[in-house]
Amino acid sequence: MNKQEKSVRKMIINGICLFFLVGAVACNSSEKQGDTASEQMSQEGSDAAAGNTAGGTWDSNRFNTTFASNNRYGEWDANRDSYLDENEYTRGFYRTWDTNRDNKVDQNEWNTASRDFGMQNQTWDKWDSNRDGSLDEKEYRTGFNQSGWYREWDGDGDKRLSQQEYSTGLFGRWDRNGDSMLDENEYTPYNTYYGNGGTGNGMNNGTGTGTGTGTGTDRTGTGNNGTGNTGTGTGNGNGTGTGTGTGNGTGTGNGTGTGTGTGNRPGSGS
C-alpha cells in the first residue's frame, strides 16, 4: 500500500470516529433534555392537582376541584342526600368559623371570619343577642341568615345547594377584584378555613346505652312458719356510646338497673 492510499484510509477512519463521537454527544444531550421535560411535566401535573396555575392564580374549575377533595361538604351533609339545605349550610359555616374548635364562635373569630369572607353591614352586637361574648348555634344562624348568601348561591333556585353551587359561591366571595381568578392573597382564606390540615367537629351528638346492675339486701322477718320478707334493691350502671354523624362526636349514656333479693332465713314464731 502506497503512501497516498494510507493517507486516504486514515482520513476515512478518522471521519468514522468523528461521526460516532458527535452522535454520542447528541444522544446524551437529547436524554438530558428529555429528563428535564419529564420533570417539568411532573411538576406541572403536581401543581394542577394542587390547584396551582402559573403565577400563583386559581381559576374556578381548579378551585372547585380542590374544594371537592377536602370532604368538608360531605361532613356538613347530615342527611346524606348530596345537597345542603339551609340548616346544614349554616351549621357548616358555624363549624368553619369556630377555628379553635370549642363549639362556639367568640368575637375574635367572628371579627376575623366576617372580614375574610367579605360579610358586610353586620355588627357583632346584632349577633350576640344575650351579650355573653360568644355565639351559640342559634344566635349564629339568626345573624348569618341575614346575609342572604344561601339564596344567592342557589343558582338553580331549587332551595338546596349542590357541591358545585357551594364552591362557586365561595369562589365568588373571595374573587374581590372580579377577574374570575383568585390570586395568592385572595386564596389565602381557603387554607385557613378549608385546608386539608384542618380538623372538623362532629355534626351530630353521640348516643350511648348503659347496663346497670343492682344488689338486693335480704331482710328477715318473724312470723308463723318463719318466712322472711323479700328485699329489693336498686343499682346504677354506667355505659358509653359511640357518636354517629360526621366528625368525631362522642356520647355517653347512663343506665339504671334493678336488683331483687329474697330472704330465706327462718324466723321465730309461735
If you ran DSSP here, which 8-state letter would residue 132 be given?
Answer: S
| Average pLDDT, rounded, for the chain | 71
Does a structural domain hold residue 155?
A: yes
d(C-alpha 37, C-alpha 47), whole Å = 15
Q: Which residue has the higher pLDDT, 98 or 255?
A: 98
> Would you say residue 194 has pLDDT above 50?
yes
What is the share, in percent, of the chain residues with pLDDT greater than 90? 49
117 touches 106 (CB < 8 A): no
Does 221 map to a domain? no
Scanning the structure block, which residue is given the C-alpha cell 357541591? 163
Q: Is residue 103 part of a domain?
A: yes
Residue 227 lies in a domain: no
pLDDT per residue as tens digits for the range 130-147: 999 999 999 999 999 999
Which pLDDT score, from 0 to 100, does residue 17 have? 57
Average pLDDT over residues 62-68: 93
Residue 45 lies in a domain: no
* Measured distance CA(2)–CA(6) in Å, rounded: 6
Q: What is the mean pLDDT of residues 1-18?
A: 60
Structural domain harbouring 63: 58-194
Mean pLDDT for 3-25 is 59
Q: Whole-angstrom Cα distance, residue 105 to residue 113?
A: 10
Residue 214 belongs to a domain: no
Question: Is residue 29 in some structural domain?
Answer: no
**pLDDT for the residue 3:** 54
Please report the pLDDT score of residue 198 as a whole number: 40
Enumerate residues 6+ apart whose C-beta is below 8 A from 206.
Answer: 241, 242, 243, 244, 249, 250, 251, 252
Helices (H), 81-228: 86-97, 107-116, 124-127, 137-144, 149-153, 163-174, 184-194
Would you say residue 111 lies in a domain? yes
Q: Which pLDDT value is given to residue 58?
A: 92
CA–CA separation, 96 vs 205, rounded Å?
Answer: 18
pLDDT band at residue 195 under the 50/70/90 scheme: confident
Identify the pLDDT of residue 7. 62
Q: How many domains does the chain have?
A: 1
Check residues 206 and 127 and name the one with the higher pLDDT.
127
Q: What mean pLDDT do residues 218-237 have?
A: 40
Residue of 199 and 83 predicted with greater confidence: 83
Rounded percentage of the chain residues whose pLDDT exceeds 70 = 52
Number of other CB atoms surrounding residue 231 within 10 Å:
16
pLDDT at 183: 95
> Residue 101 in contact with residue 201, Cβ under 8 Å?
yes
